[in-house]
């Protein structure tokens, strides 16, 4: 059975966040308000929307889930009657044995209440061909629980950036009822130019979901350069909206009747062989990795 209504207006926000948290938050709130004025029901901010700095700088801005930044987003969600995704913030860990924070997304409902919290599961530990290495796990601890939140009859799946490379996560989100999946990101230019759109479209097509992927773009004060190209893709893999390389709000309408039609015509969920998942779980780590 589908949602009680047939469509929602989805919006993704593209930012070039810097080191000034207050300025970043002011820009984020202004862009959320612009999305609301364009009729958005659902608005998503990018990864690290409140601070794009070095690991040391970001570590000084670790938040609790009731911290000031998230309270402000809850307020605007309530005032604008929006479903609002706080891209990611660094969430304080209560584990004294491992004080690394989580990289966390929070989804607010139209009353401004946090209804879903997702802690990034896959951490970006890579060495790129340009000689640059990233070791997210040195400063961030991984989450361990996939999250789907049901709001107004619609399942929203949560994921973050590097998660895109792990299709089993998105299959599980779809199995759990996701119709829309968020991918707040801060992709590198090197990986983005070759992989971003291919991965986004693949996750949408194979799971027949809408993908809302708000991203960081441009050269940040820390010197890091991110790819941008925020995008909204439909369950057929069609790009409904894509941001230019500037601060942007993009939107598209999710048609759940159309989604049901796609799922009926090409019923991949019925054709999945669950045996694959048991084999994957039993595979030696070196083969799976």
Which of 120, 152, 246, 285 does the annotation list as catalytic?
A: 120
Which of 16, 91, 136, 161 does the annotation list as catalytic?
A: 161
Among the listed residues 106, 85, 59, 103, the one whose alpha carbon sits nearest the alpha carbon of residue 230: 85
Instruction: For residue 16, indicate whether it is catalytic.
Output: no
Which of 16, 47, 91, 136 does the annotation list as catalytic?
A: 47
Cα–Cα distance for residue pair 164/186, rounded to 1 Å: 12
Q: What angle (nearest 5°) sits at the alpha carbon of residue 238, between those of residues 174 and 38?
A: 90
Q: Tell me the whole-structure pTM to 2 decimals.
A: 0.94
Q: How far apart are the first and last CA of the chain?
A: 37
Instruction: For residue 19, indicate whether it is catalytic.
Output: no
pLDDT, tens digit only, all 289 positions of the chain: 567 668 999 999 999 999 999 999 999 999 999 999 999 999 999 999 999 987 778 777 899 999 999 999 999 999 999 999 999 999 999 888 898 999 999 999 999 999 999 999 999 988 887 667 889 999 999 999 999 999 999 999 999 999 999 999 999 999 999 999 999 999 999 999 999 999 999 999 999 999 999 999 999 998 899 999 999 999 999 999 999 999 999 999 999 999 999 999 999 999 998 888 888 878 876 554 4
Which CATH number does 7-288 carry? 3.60.110.10
Q: Which residues of 187-217 are buried (b: 16+ CB within 10 A; e: fewer)?
A: bbbebbeebbbebbbbbbbebbbbbbbbbbb
What are the residue ranges spanned by the domains of the chain?
A: 7-288
44 has which bridge partners? 12, 85
Instruction: For residue 47, indicate whether it is catalytic.
Output: yes
């Amino acid at each position: 059975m589908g949602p009680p209504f047939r469509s929602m207006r989805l919006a993704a926000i593209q930012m070039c966040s810097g080191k000034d948290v207050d300025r970043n938050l002011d820009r984020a709130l202004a862009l959320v308000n612009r999305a609301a004025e364009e009729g958005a029901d659902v608005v998503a901010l990018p990864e690290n929307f409140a601070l794009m700095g070095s690991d040391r700088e970001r570590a000084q801005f670790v938040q609790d889930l009731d911290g000031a930044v998230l309270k402000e987003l809850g307020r605007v969600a309530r005032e604008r009657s929006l479903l609002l995704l706080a891209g990611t913030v660094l969430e304080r860990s209560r584990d004294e044995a491992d004080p690394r924070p989580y990289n966390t997304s929070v989804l607010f409902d139209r009353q401004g209440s946090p209804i879903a919290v997702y802690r990034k599961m896959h951490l970006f530990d890579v060495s790129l061909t340009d000689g640059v290495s990233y070791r997210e796990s040195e400063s961030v601890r991984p989450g361990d629980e996939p999250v789907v939140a049901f709001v107004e009859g619609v399942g929203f799946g949560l994921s973050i950036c590097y998660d895109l490379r792990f299709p089993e996560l998105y299959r599980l989100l779809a199995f759990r009822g996701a119709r829309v999946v968020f991918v707040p990101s801060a992709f590198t230019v090197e990986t983005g130019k070759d992989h971003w759109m291919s991965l986004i479209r693949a996750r949408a097509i194979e799971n027949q979901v809408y993908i809302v992927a708000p991203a960081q773009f441009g050269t940040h004060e820390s010197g890091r350069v991110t790819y941008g190209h925020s995008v909204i893709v439909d369950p057929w893999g069609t790009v409904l909206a894509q941001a230019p390389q500037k601060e942007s709000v993009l939107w598209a309408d999710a048609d759940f009747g159309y989604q049901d039609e796609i799922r009926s015509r090409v019923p991949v969920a019925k054709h999945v062989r669950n045996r694959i998942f048991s084999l994957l779980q039993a595979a030696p780590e070196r083969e799976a990795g």
